[in-house]
Structure 1
Amino acid sequence: MSELNDFCSRHVGVHDETRQEMIEALGYERIVELIEDAVPAEIRDDRQMHLPAAMSETDALDLLKMLMAQNELVKPMIGQGYYGTKVPAVIQRNVLENPGWYTAYTPYQAEIAQGRLEALFHFQSMVTELTGLDIANSSLLDEATAAAEAVALARSSKPRGTTVFVSDKVFVQTIDVVKNRCEPLGIEVLVGDWKSVDPSAIDGLIATLVQYPDADGSVEDYAAFHQQVHAAKAKAIVAADILALTVLTPPGEFGADIAVGSTQRFGVPLGFGGPHAAYIACTDALKRKLPGRVVGLSVDAQGKKAYRLAMQTREQHIRRDKATSNICTAQVLLAVMASMYAIYHGPNGLRNIAYNVHYMTLVFASSVAAHGYRLVNESFFDTLTLEAPGQAEDLVEQALAAGFNLRRMGPDCLGLSFDECTSKDDVMGLLAIFGVDEPVMPPEEALAWDEVCERRSDFCTDPVFHCYHSETEMLRFLARLEKRDLALNESMIPLGSCTMKLNASAEMMPLTWPEVADMHPFAPEDQTHGYLDMLDSLSEWLAEITGFAAVSLQPNAGSQGEYAGLLAIRRYHQSRGDAQRLDCLIPTSAHGTNPASAVMAGFKVVPVACDEEGNIDVADLKAKAEASGAMLACLMVTYPSTHGVYEATIKDICETIHSLGGQVYMDGANMNAQVGLTSPGTIGADVCHLNLHKTFCIPHGGGGPGVGPIGVAEQLVPFLPGHHRMEPRDGAVCAAAYGSASINVISWMYIVMMGAEGLSEASKIAILNANYMALRLREHFPILYTGNRGLVAHECIIDIRPLSEAAGISVEDVAKRLIDYGFHAPTMSWPVAGTLMIEPTESESKREIDRFCDALISIHGEIQEIIQGQADAEDNVLKHAPHTAELVSSDAWPYRYSREKAAYPMAALREHKFWPHVGRIDNVYGDRNLVCSCVGMEAFAASQSGE
C-alpha cells in the first residue's frame, strides 16, 4: 500500500510488517495468493472499478463542502411530517457526535448495553404516556413505514380481513407507503373522507387510519368515529404528531388501538428526510405481535435492576415466513436523541415549546383572517391551510424571496407549518408578505381547538424527566449512560455478518453541517442541487461497485431493501404476464428477514436444503426450481454464504434459476468480502440490497440507523421504488424519496477517500484478518465451515458444542465470560445453534485480533479446568460471568474461585478494564414480569417485594 498518511492506511488496521507476518503465518508470501485460493476463480472480477481517485480526508471534506454548498437553505414551513427543531448542543455533542453512542451494536448482549437500553426504556415510557396507550416499542424507521407496520399489526388480529380505510387527510407519503405495502398482500386500501364513511358498510374492514392533527392542520375529535370502527370489529390507527400530543388529547383516550408517528421534532435534524425515529404504541392485547424491539426491565444475578430486550422470541423476523413484519432493526441513535430531548426539557419544557409554536400559529392565523383570508382549517395546532384564490402561487414566491418555504397547493391554496425554530420576527416577516401591518394578538391562553381535544392527563411522569434540566446535570447523565455500554471506542466488536468496522471521524463530521442537517425532504428541487448531486454520485459508484445498471437509495434499512428488491422482481414478472411466478426459493441457512420479506412481497417461500459443509444443496435447489417451473419467481441467496464461505457453485446456481425464468436476489450482508474482488452482477444476481451500515461505514448506532439501497440489473430498473416527489410517482417503500438521505454522506466520504484500490484492499484485509483469526483459534475450537484449502471468507464460525457437551457450559456462558475480558461476544448461535460467528473486519489491527484470540484461548483453558475437575461444574467463572466491580469489591464473595480470576483473567486487564454495569441478567424473570415503561415501575417494585 501507499504512504501511511493516506486514508486507506488509517482505515485498514494491518499493514507493513504485521500484515506480512499474518500472510506468512497462513503459508503465503503475498496476499494475492491468499485471495486466489480463498475466492473461487469462477467469480473473480479483475475489472478496474471506475471510481474517483482516492482523496485525503481534508480534500474529501473540502469537495463535499463545495458540493453541498449548492443547497439553498430556506426556512422550512412545509410541514407534512417534517419540522424544524433545535438540537440541544449537549445532545448533539455528547450523543450524535459521540462514538461511544454511535458505534455501539444492537443491545443483544444486555449486560454491556445498559446505557442505551435505559435510554430506549425512557423513549418507550415517553411514547406510552404521550399516546395514552399500554405499550410502545423502542422505535421504527419512519412514520410512513410505521403506519404500514400498524396495518400489518391490525391484520394479525383479523387475518381474513381484506380492506383498510385511510383518511384522505393523512400525509400523502404515508398513504403511498401503506398502499404499496398492502397491494402484494391483496389488501384493498380505500382513501376518502372519514367523516362520511360508514365503517360497518366496508366488507372485511381490518383497520382505519387517520392523521392527528391532519394534513391540512385540523385538530379533529375522532372518538365517535372510533366507536363505529370498533363496532365493525376493526382496529383504529392514529398517526399523531409527537409535539402536539403534549397539549392535545392522547389517541388512547379517544379509542385508538395503535398510534404511530415520528419523533423527528424532538431534537433530530431534518436531514433531507432522515434518519428519524418513528414510534408505534398499542393496546396490551396487541403487544405479543408488536413489530420491532421492546426494552423490558428485569434483574441480574445479584437482584439488581437491569434492562434487556424483552420477549425476543416475539421479534417478527424470527418467525420467518410466518412473520407479519420483516423489521429486525430500529432507529436507536435517533430514539436516544429524542428521549434525551424529552428528559432535558421535561414535560413542562415540552409543553412550553408546544404552546409557543401554537401561539405563533394563532397570531398568524388571527391576523390573516382579519385581513380577509379564509382558513380552510378552523382548528389547528401548528399548521394552517389558507385560501388565496388566484394569488396562492404568487404568495409562495414572495415568501420564498423573503426566505421561507411554504407548502404549494396550487393557485388557490397554500399551507404553512410553524415549529420550534419559528421566531417572532419570522411571524412578522410572513405577515408583511400577506399585507398585514399590525398583527392581531390573541390572549396567550387562547387555543385553536375544541375543548374536548385538550390534554388533561400527565405525561413523562417518571423522575428521570424531572432531574436533568441543567446542562451540567444532563452532561453527567449522558456520560454515566455512555460508560455502561461497550462500543467500538472501547474494543473490537467481532460480530459475524454485522461488519463492525471503523466509522471514521472525517466521514461523520458532515452530518451536522447545516447544509446537510437542515434540509426539508420536500424542499423545491432547485434548492437541493447539492444533495441530489451527492446522492446521484453515490448511486453511480455503488452501481459500479456492484456491477448493476442502477441503484435506489430510498430503502432506509436492510429489511426495506430486501422488500424493495423483491417487489421489483414481482412487478417485473407481472409486466411480462407472469403474475403466477410467486415461488421464492430460500436456503434454510438464510437470515429470518429473507422469508419474512418474501411473504410481505406476496411470494410463497420454498425452503432449500444446505449440505453438511453449510453450502446450498445444489441438487435440492435444482429439484425445487424445476418443480416450481413456471411458478418460479426468484432465489434469495447470501454471498459469501451465511456460514462464511465462498460457494464455488454460485454461478451454476444463478444460471439454473435464470434458465427457468426466475430472478436471483442477493442479500448483500456480506458485501464486505466482495468489493473489488467480485460483484453481485458478475456472479449473476439480478438485484442486491447493500447494508451501508456494514460494508460502507455508516455506524450501527446501537441498533440503527441503517441504509439498505438496492442495485438492479437493466431489466429491473423500471421497477425501482418511486415517490410522489420523483419519477416514477408510485412504489414508495418509505416516507422520503431518498430515505435516510443525510447519513449517505458517510458512505460518500468513505468511497471518495478509499478509491477503487483502497476498497479492494479493504476486502483483501478483511479476508486476511478472518483467516488469521481462524488459524489462531482452530487448535482450540473447531472451525465449522471452510472452503478451498481450509480457508474462510471474511468471517468464520467456531463450534462450541463439543466443549459444551464435555463441560456442561453453554455458548451463552462463553459470550458472557468474554465481557470479563472486555469484549462484545461474536454472533451467538446463528446461523448454527451452539456456535459463535466471528468477523474481525479490515479495520482491526493484529494486536487487537491477537488480544481477542488470547481471550478466547484463555476461556478455552477455563473450560478445560471444568472438564479436568479443577473447577466446579456449576460454581465457575463461566457460569457466573460477567462479574461487576460492585460484586468483586463487596465484602461477601460467594464463589469458590478467586476475585482475581473473576475480574483479571489476563494481565493486560490491569492496565485497562471495562466493567459491566450489571451481572448476568435473568431473561425468564423479565418475560414473566413484563415491565417496559416507567409507568410500570410500581408493578416492578411490587414484583420485587413479593406483593
Structure 2
Amino acid sequence: MTRTSLSQLEARDDFISRHIGPSESEQAAMLSKLGYASRAALIDAVVPPNIRNKSKLALGEFYNPMPEQEALSKLKAIASKNKVMKSVIGQGYYNTFTPNVILRNIFENPAWYTAYTPYQPEISQGRLEAILNFQQVVTDLTGMGIANSSMLDEGTAAAEAMTLIQRVGKSSSQVFYVADDVLPQTREIVETRAKPLGIEVRTVPASEVEALDGNCFGVLLQYPGVNGEVRDYREAVEKLHAAGAMVIVAADLLALTLLTPPGEWGADVVVGNSQRFGVPLGFGGPHAGYLATRDEFKRSMPGRLVGVTIDAQGNKAYRLALQTREQHIRREKATSNICTAQVLLAVMASMYAVYHGPKGLAQIAQRVHRFTGILAASLGQLGYTIANTTFFDTLTIQTASAEQLHATAESKGVNLRRVDASHVGISLDETTTRDDIALLWSIFAEGVTGATAPDLDALDASSQDAYPEALVRTSAYMTHPTFSRYHSEHEMLRYLRSLADKDLALDRTMIPLGSCTMKLNATAEMIPVTWPEFSSIHPFAPDSQTVGYREMIGQLEEMLCAVTGYAAVSLQPNAGSQGEYAGLLVIQAYHQSRGEGHRNICLIPSSAHGTNPASANMVGMKVVVTACDENGNVDLDDLKAKAELHSKNLACVMVTYPSTHGVFEEGIQELCEVIHSHGGQVYIDGANMNALVGVAAPGSFGGDVSHLNLHKTFCIPHGGGGPGVGPIGVGAHLAKFLPNQRSTGYTRDEAGIGAVSAAAYGSASILPISWMYIAMMGGEGLTQATETAILSANYIARRLAPHYPVLYTGHDGLVAHECILDLRPLQDKTGISNEDVAKRLMDFGFHAPTMSFPVPGTLMIEPTESESKVEIDRFIDAMICIHAEIVKVERGEYDRMDNPLKGAPHTAEVVMEDDWQHAYTREQAAFPVASLRKQKYWPPVGRADNVYGDRNLFCGCAPVSDYE
C-alpha cells in the first residue's frame, strides 16, 4: 500500500469539485456520448475562435481558488473594518429585530431562498400564500384596494407610481410635483425616471401642497415626512382631485398601524418600504418595496400580482395574475420593465406581520412613538427646540452646531441624521430601549450646565400622542385569521414548514430553466450575509464606518471587470431590469456628451427578452426590431440594412450573447463592428453570461455595456422571485457616466447619471455571496464551471434529440449552455402541449424548463454546471418517459383528453379518491418511474385555472370560511 505523504494530507478542501456537479469520470462519459475526447475539444467546437479568451482571467490575488474557511476568514477580516454603530439616521431605513424563527426558517433556509419565480403555480403554493399575506398586509395598512407582490425598493416604487398615474389619469400635463419632505433618495430616482420621458419634476413645500393650482398630473407626498412631520392632507387631496391631478403617498407601514391610512383620505397610489418589518438594514438592501392602488387600476399596475383561482378539481389555488410576463406580450409598449421583484424579503416582512399580528405591530408602534415623545420632552428640558410639531418616530432638532453634535454622537457609538448645519435628525425604532434614550439624552446634554438625567417614567406619564387627533387610525386591519393564529414560535415554525413543503426549490430538485441559470447557492457563500458587520450597517452611515463594505465592493467590481473585459462596473442596479435601464441611460448620456442627443434608435432582435424593448421604451428610445434567420441567429443582412437606414439616429443595439436561442452566433464581432461604424453603441445582455465566464468576454469582443445577473451567473439565490442584482459593466469611454446618488453624497463622477436604486450600492448585503463564489472558484474554477455548463447542456440536447427536436443549434449540432426543445410537431399530432409536459414533470418531482420563451410551443432547458450527472440523467429519463406517454396518445392507446399529461399534475387526493375514472392507472399517474416509490413529491394542487383566476380576480387572503 502506497503511503500518503504529509504534503498530500495537507491538501486543502477543494470547493470547485463540490460546486461542479459531474465528476471527472462522469464528464468523460458525457463527452463520450458527444464524441469528444476532452472538455477543451468540445469548447473549441462550440465557441467561435475569434472571440475566445487568449489569456487567463486577470483576477490578481483571487486567481488561485481559496478553500471555504480561508475565503470566509479573508472576508471576515474585511468585514471587521466596518463599524456597527447605533443608527438613528432613519430616512427610510430602521434597525429591526428579525424574529429568529423567521431568520432560521426563511432567510437561512434553502427551501425558501433557492426557489424560482412562481410561474408554475402548482409547485409554488407555499411562497404564493406567503406573498398573498404580504399583499393583504399592505392593502390593510394602506387602506387601498389592491397591492402588488413587492417592488425593488421605495424609490423605484415611487417612480413606477408616477408613470402609473400618468397612464391612468386624465390630465394632459407633464408636470409632477414632489413635496420637499419626501425622502431625498426617492426624489432622485423619480427625477432620473422622469427626465427621458419628458416629465418635469418640481418641488412644492409640504406645507403649501394645498395651494397648488392643479397644473400637474400628480403629486408625491411623504407620510410622515423625512423630517418627522405628520401632515393632514385631506383638503389638499380633495383640491388636487378636483383639478384633475392624482396623489401618490409614500407611507411608513409601521406608522400606519396608528395613523389614518392614506386610502381613507384620498390617495390614489401608496408606496413604501417594508424593511422595518424584520428585514436587516444591509447597507441599503435588499428590501421589499410595496405599491398599493385603487382597485380600478389593477390592470395597469406594474410588477407581479398574486391572485386566487381554482384548480382542475375545483379547489382553491394561488397563482400569478394578470400581468405575468407582460414584457413578452407588450414588449416596447410595456408599461414597466420589472421582471421579478423582492419576493424573499416580502415573505420575511409578511411573516413578521403574521408572527406579531395586528396587536403586536400596534404595540411596537406605540412603544416607538412613546419613546420618541419622551426623548422630545427630555431634549426640551435641555433647552433644545424640536422643529417638527408633530411626529411618529422622527425628531428634527435645532442646534447651534450640528457638527459638534455629530462628533459627540459618533464618539458614543451613535449615528444621527445629517440635516444641515443647524439641525440634526433622530428616528427611533423597535430596537430602542430606555438605555438608548438615556444615551441620546447624554449626547445632547454634553456641555449643558446643570443638566440632570430625566425621569423617563415621569415624562411618560405626562406625554401625549404627537400626531394630529384627526389622523388617529380608527379602522381595523389584518383581521384575517392568518394574522392571529401563529404567535407562538411552535405554531409559526409549523406554518413555515407546511408552506415550504408545498414548493419545489433547488434543495429538492434540479430546476432546468433556460435563461435563468438556477445554479448552486453554496452555504459558505450565504453565511456572511447574516454577519452583523454586513447586515447591521445603515446605507447612509459615514464612510469611515463602511471601509470594509467599500473594500469588498471594490474588489467585487474588479473581479467582474476581469471576467467581462470591461473597464468599470457599477453595482447599484438591484435587478437585471434595472441594469438594462441604467445601461441605456449611460449610452444616452454618452451620446448627449458628444452633442448627439438626437440618437434615439435602439435595434433589438425579434428573439430578445421582453425586458429589452421595455427598457428602451422607458428611456425614451424608439425600438426597431431586426429579424432572426431560420437558425435563430440575428439576420445580419437585415441588421445592416436597418443600421444604415437609421445611421444618423442610431443609439445602440441590444443583443443577448450567447443568443436567446442558446447558440454562440458566429457573427457577433461583425455585428458589433456594423453598429460602431454607424456611431452606435453595443449593449450585450448578460443573461447568458454563465456560458462566457473564462471563455469569452463581451467587453473584449465588441460590447460597450452589459448588465450581469448576479442572481444567475454569480450565485446569488433567486429567492422565489427576488432578490436580484443587475450590475452594469462598461467600456472605458462610458465609465464616467455610471450611476451616482448625489442626494446622499455618493458622487462617482460628476458626469454620471442619477440614481437608479434607493441605495448607492443597491442590494449591498448580498454582494458577499458573489465575492465568496469568485474567491472560492478562482480563475480556473470559473472557467471549468462555464465549460461544464456547456457540456451538460449539450449532453441533454444529444440524449433528448431522438425524442424531441432541438430547435436551434450551431455547427455540428452543438448548443451553448441551454437548448430549446420543439414540442410543436408533437402537439400538431397529439394535442399535447408544452404546458402539458411542464405539468407532467411535476409528477416526476421536477420543476418545468422555461416554457414558450423565446419561441411559443417550446421548452428551453439549462442544466448549469452544478447539477450532477445522476440528477441530469434522472431528468432525461423523466423526459423520455413523458415522450413515451405522448407516443401512446399518438397511437391511440391513450385518449387525447384523458391521459397522464392532460391530467397532470396529480395530487395525492386525486390519486386516492374512491372513484377513479381515468383510462390510465393510478400507478401511472403517481409513479411513472420506480424511483418515485422511494421519494415522492406530491403537488399540493391540481392544474391551476388561469382563465378563471383572471376573470374572478381576488388578490387577498383566503375567505375566513376556509378556516372555519
TM-score range, shorter chain: over 0.9
Greater alpha carbon shift after TM alignment, 733-742 vs 321-330 = 321-330
User: Which amino acid in the other structure matches residue 945 of structure 2?
Assistant: D
Give the TM-score taking structure 2 as reference length: 0.96
Helix, strand or coil for the counterpart of 1:635?
strand
Structure 2 CA distance for partners of 1:511 and 1:612, relative to 1, 3 Å: same
Aligned to 2:38: 30
Structure 2 CA distance for partners of 1:793 and 1:385, relative to 1, 3 Å: same
What is the aligned counterpart of 1:572 among 590, 594, 597? Answer: 590
Aligned to 1:55: 66
Helix, strand or coil for the counterpart of 1:921?
coil
Judge conservation of contact 1:317–1:328 (CA < 8 Å) in 2.
Answer: no
Aligned to 1:190: 202
User: Which amino acid in the other structure matches residue 351 of structure 1?
Assistant: A
- Structure 1 residue 50, shift from structure 2 partner: 1.8
Between the aligned partners of 2:580 and 2:722, the Cα distance in structure 1 is 16
- Structure 1 residue 411, shift from structure 2 partner: 2.7
Aligned to 1:174: 186
What is the aligned counterpart of 1:537 among 535, 543, 555? Answer: 555
User: Which amino acid in the other structure matches residue 339 of structure 1?
Assistant: S
Aligned to 2:792: 769
What is the aligned counterpart of 2:779 among 753, 756, 767? Answer: 756
- Work out whether 1:608 is the aligned partner of 2:626: yes
- Work out whether 1:815 is the aligned partner of 2:838: yes
What is the aligned counterpart of 2:638 among 620, 627, 649? Answer: 620
Spell out, residue by residue over 1:612-641, the C-alpha distance to the aligned partner (whole angstroms, 9 max, x if none). 111101011000000001100000000000
Judge conservation of contact 1:359–1:444 (CA < 8 Å) in 2.
Answer: no
Question: Structure 1: where are the runs of 5+ without partners?
Answer: 943-947
Aligned to 1:45: 53
Between the aligned partners of 1:896 and 1:36, the Cα distance in structure 2 is 50
Counting only pairs closer than 5 Å after superposition, residues 234-383 of structure 1 correspond to structure 2 as 234-312=245-323, 315=326, 318-383=329-394
Between the aligned partners of 2:17 and 2:67, the Cα distance in structure 1 is 11
Structure 2 CA distance for partners of 1:233 and 1:316, relative to 1, 3 Å: farther
Spell out, residue by residue over 1:65-120, the C-alpha distance to the aligned partner (whole angstroms, 9 max, x if none). 01000000101100000000000000000000000000000000000000000000
Judge conservation of contact 1:140–1:146 (CA < 8 Å) in 2.
Answer: yes
- Work out whether 1:69 is the aligned partner of 2:80: yes
- Structure 1 residue 197, shift from structure 2 partner: 4.6
- Percentage of matched positions with identical amino acids: 59
Spell out, residue by residue over 1:261-308, the C-alpha distance to the aligned partner (whole angstroms, 9 max, x if none). 000000000000000000000001211010000000011111111100
Counting only pairs closer than 5 Å after superposition, residues 915-934 of structure 1 correspond to structure 2 as 915-934=938-957
Aligned to 2:916: 893
Judge conservation of contact 1:317–1:326 (CA < 8 Å) in 2.
Answer: no
- Structure 1 residue 221, shift from structure 2 partner: 0.6
What is the aligned counterpart of 2:574 among 550, 556, 559? Answer: 556
Spell out, residue by residue over 1:860-909, the C-alpha distance to the aligned partner (whole angstroms, 9 max, x if none). 00000011011111111111100001111222223121110000000011
Between the aligned partners of 1:198 and 1:320, the Cα distance in structure 2 is 39
User: Which amino acid in the other structure matches residue 454 of structure 1?
Assistant: V
Between the aligned partners of 1:295 and 1:110, the Cα distance in structure 2 is 10
Helix, strand or coil for the counterpart of 1:734?
coil
Between the aligned partners of 1:317 and 1:19, the Cα distance in structure 2 is 36
Judge conservation of contact 2:214–2:245 (CA < 8 Å) in 1.
Answer: no
Aligned to 1:945: none
Greater alpha carbon shift after TM alignment, 566-575 vs 369-378 = 369-378
What is the aligned counterpart of 1:654 among 666, 672, 680? Answer: 672
Between the aligned partners of 2:334 and 2:821, the Cα distance in structure 1 is 30
Structure 2 CA distance for partners of 1:553 and 1:470, relative to 1, 3 Å: same
- Work out whether 1:499 is the aligned partner of 2:522: no
User: Which amino acid in the other structure matches residue 28 of structure 1?
Assistant: Y
Between the aligned partners of 1:264 and 1:583, the Cα distance in structure 2 is 39
Helix, strand or coil for the counterpart of 1:196?
helix
Between the aligned partners of 1:319 and 1:352, the Cα distance in structure 2 is 46
User: Which amino acid in the other structure matches residue 50 of structure 1?
Assistant: A
Structure 2 CA distance for partners of 1:58 and 1:931, relative to 1, 3 Å: same
- Structure 1 residue 232, shift from structure 2 partner: 1.9
- Work out whether 1:859 is the aligned partner of 2:879: no
User: Which amino acid in the other structure matches residue 723 of structure 1?
Assistant: Q
- Structure 1 residue 316, shift from structure 2 partner: 5.0
User: Which amino acid in the other structure matches residue 563 of structure 1?
Assistant: Y
Aligned to 2:431: 421
Between the aligned partners of 1:202 and 1:244, the Cα distance in structure 2 is 29
- Structure 1 residue 202, shift from structure 2 partner: 5.0
- Work out whether 1:233 is the aligned partner of 2:248: no
What is the aligned counterpart of 1:118 among 122, 129, 135? Answer: 129
Judge conservation of contact 1:4–1:10 (CA < 8 Å) in 2.
Answer: no
Helix, strand or coil for the counterpart of 1:374?
coil
User: Which amino acid in the other structure matches residue 616 of structure 1?
Assistant: V
User: Which amino acid in the other structure matches residue 959 of structure 2?
Assistant: M
User: Which amino acid in the other structure matches residue 176 of structure 2?
Assistant: V
Judge conservation of contact 1:80–1:215 (CA < 8 Å) in 2.
Answer: yes
Between the aligned partners of 2:214 and 2:174, the Cα distance in structure 1 is 10
- Structure 1 residue 445, shift from structure 2 partner: 7.5
Aligned to 1:515: 533
Aligned to 2:959: 937
> RMSD across aligned C-alpha pairs, in angstroms?
1.6
Counting only pairs closer than 5 Å after superposition, residues 709-748 of structure 1 correspond to structure 2 as 709-724=727-742, 725-727=745-747, 728=749, 731-748=754-771
Judge conservation of contact 1:275–1:740 (CA < 8 Å) in 2.
Answer: yes
Between the aligned partners of 1:64 and 1:914, the Cα distance in structure 2 is 38
Between the aligned partners of 1:89 and 1:688, the Cα distance in structure 2 is 39
Helix, strand or coil for the counterpart of 2:51?
coil
Between the aligned partners of 1:443 and 1:628, the Cα distance in structure 2 is 73
Between the aligned partners of 1:239 and 1:848, the Cα distance in structure 2 is 47
Judge conservation of contact 2:628–2:635 (CA < 8 Å) in 1.
Answer: yes
- Structure 1 residue 19, shift from structure 2 partner: 0.9
- Structure 1 residue 4, shift from structure 2 partner: 9.4
Spell out, residue by residue over 1:120-170, the C-alpha distance to the aligned partner (whole angstroms, 9 max, x if none). 000000000100000000000000000000001111124843111000100
Helix, strand or coil for the counterpart of 2:459?
coil
Helix, strand or coil for the counterpart of 1:25?
helix
Helix, strand or coil for the counterpart of 2:646?
helix
Greater alpha carbon shift after TM alignment, 446-455 vs 521-530 = 446-455
Structure 2 CA distance for partners of 1:255 and 1:9, relative to 1, 3 Å: same
- Structure 1 residue 717, shift from structure 2 partner: 0.7
- Work out whether 1:438 is the aligned partner of 2:449: no
Helix, strand or coil for the counterpart of 2:270?
strand
- Structure 1 residue 453, shift from structure 2 partner: 1.1
Judge conservation of contact 1:14–1:845 (CA < 8 Å) in 2.
Answer: yes
- Structure 1 residue 544, shift from structure 2 partner: 1.1
Question: Structure 2: where are the runs of 5+ without partners?
Answer: 1-7, 446-450
Between the aligned partners of 1:856 and 1:544, the Cα distance in structure 2 is 39
- Work out whether 1:102 is the aligned partner of 2:118: no
- Structure 1 residue 312, shift from structure 2 partner: 3.3
Judge conservation of contact 1:288–1:314 (CA < 8 Å) in 2.
Answer: no
Aligned to 1:11: 19
Greater alpha carbon shift after TM alignment, 248-257 vs 396-405 = 396-405
Helix, strand or coil for the counterpart of 2:291?
strand
Aligned to 1:778: 801
Judge conservation of contact 1:829–1:836 (CA < 8 Å) in 2.
Answer: yes
Between the aligned partners of 2:173 and 2:330, the Cα distance in structure 1 is 21
Judge conservation of contact 2:214–2:240 (CA < 8 Å) in 1.
Answer: no
Aligned to 1:395: 405
Aligned to 1:139: 150
User: Which amino acid in the other structure matches residue 84 of structure 2?
Assistant: L
User: Which amino acid in the other structure matches residue 36 of structure 1?
Assistant: D
Structure 2 CA distance for partners of 1:232 and 1:317, relative to 1, 3 Å: farther
Judge conservation of contact 2:214–2:244 (CA < 8 Å) in 1.
Answer: no
Judge conservation of contact 1:200–1:231 (CA < 8 Å) in 2.
Answer: no
What is the aligned counterpart of 2:663 among 638, 645, 669? Answer: 645
